[in-house]
Structure 1
Amino acid sequence: MPISLHAAFVPSCRQIIAGCLNVLAKAEAAGIGDLAEQRLAPDMFPLAFQVQSVAGHSAGAIAAMRTGQFSPGGGFAMPSSDYASFTAMLTEADAVLAAVTEAEMEGFIGGDTDFVFGERRMPFKSENFLLSFAQPNFYFHAATLYGIFRNKGVGLGKKDYLGRPRIAV
């Protein structure tokens, strides 16, 4: 039986968002402050951009398939650089993902979704936008969020990033 677009995207995004929320909680408990300046490398975007991108490339990608257009940020404004704003944004993204149905997502297949950045436009079939653009970006920014705090000495391991896998019981 083929896997649905929903099954290929939504549960994994929700799993990793839960992991990101866990990472943020552990970083806050460890006392990591000055969040506006936290970044993995000097030439990389800061933590707030990573949080915005996790939300944008998950819940924002769903919204983009509804409208046919995605722009950087995915419809999420840059959050304030504090734990409460980061947590609220990722919690909102998770709620959006929890509400999308398999039937709606299957309806996106064959549609058009463009990535628009200034004058640049990249046309995609919606399923290819989701799986070849949004999903890899989602994982990149989630891993970068994890890496920022791991680099700052927060006691994190892979299980903190992965969240709770969907194991057979």
Structure 2
Amino acid sequence: MTLHQQSIAVYRTRLDTLAALLTKAESHPKGDALLEAKLAEDMHPLATQVRFVANLPGEALPRLTERSFTSREENATTLAEAKAQIAETAELLDSIDPDELVGTEDTIVLDLPNGMQFTMTAEQYVREWSLPNFYFHLTTAYALLRMAGLEIGKADFMPHMMKYMTKGPG
């Protein structure tokens, strides 16, 4: 499996998942107010979770390609704006050619704002850091919407599996 298949392709399909969840959320009685929902007082609200999901693939690009990326600093205030953030990142990912990515064994140095530094291969970076962070915020966004009463289930979180279905329920 190529680094593109392990990273860019995964980010891309899961961005579609979040966009579809937010489309469903637009019909929820709370509407845009859902963006303020939190699972716990010390956690970020849905708007921040969405911003992180939209930013994380781009934040990986300077490490995985020669592209630069500037993270969004502001949360969306409407579900439409949140979907636009996701669409912008999806468009960026669609423009990446698999040949742009570094080799799986290339060294990545990850410097965190708290002074910690990690050195790993590009494949380890994707597997151990980038994708787990991405999924954490995607799953948290799903959980926030579900907690708010949005009628969603596992099929809404994993629609990418439908292309592999060979037999339906029943």
Between Structure 1 and Structure 2, how many residues are aligned?
A: 164
Q: 1:168, CA displacement in angstroms?
A: 7.6
Matched letter for residue 13 of structure 1: Y
Q: Aligned partners of 1:68, 1:161: CA distance in 2, in Å?
A: 29
Pick from 26, 29, 33 the counterpart of residue 28 of structure 1.
26
Q: 2:83 aligned to 81, 87, 90, which one? A: 87
Query: Deviation at 1:161?
Result: 1.4
- Hey, what does 2:121 align to over in structure 1? 125
More off after superposition, 150-159 vs 32-41: 32-41
Unaligned runs of 5+ in 1: none
Q: 1:99 to 1:55 in 2, by over 3 A?
A: same
Q: What residue is the counterpart of 1:42 in the other structure? A: 41
Q: What's the offset of the Cα at 1:51?
A: 1.0
> How far does the alpha carbon of each residue in 1:32-65 deviate from its partner, in whole angstroms, 9 at most, with x for none?
2324521122221111221121122223212343
Residue type of the alignment partner of 1:114: L
User: Within 1, Cα distance between the matches of 2:12 and 2:67?
Assistant: 23
Residue type of the alignment partner of 1:95: E
2:51 alignment counterpart = 52
What SS does the corresponding residue of 1:136 show, helix, strand or coil? Answer: helix
2:17 corresponds to = 19
Are 1:77 and 2:76 counterparts? no
Deviates more, 1:11-20 or 1:34-43: 34-43
Letter of the 1:167 counterpart: Y
Structure 2 residue 160 is matched with structure 1 residue 164:
yes
What secondary structure is seen at the aligned counterpart in 1 of 2:84?
helix
3-state DSSP class of the match of 2:111? Answer: strand
| Residue matched to 2:135 | 139
Root-mean-square deviation (Å): 2.6
Taking structure 1 as the reference length, the TM-score comes to 0.83
**Would you say the 8 A contact 1:108–1:127 is kept in 2?**
yes
1:135 is paired with a residue of what secondary structure? helix
Which gives a bigger RCO, structure 1 or 2 (Cα 8 Å, sep 6+)? 1
Identity across aligned pairs (percent)?
A: 26
Contact 1:68 1:113 in 2 (8 A): no
Structure 2 unaligned blocks of 5 or more: none
Output the TM-score relative to the length of structure 2: 0.82
1:110–1:125 CA contact under 8 A, matched in 2: yes
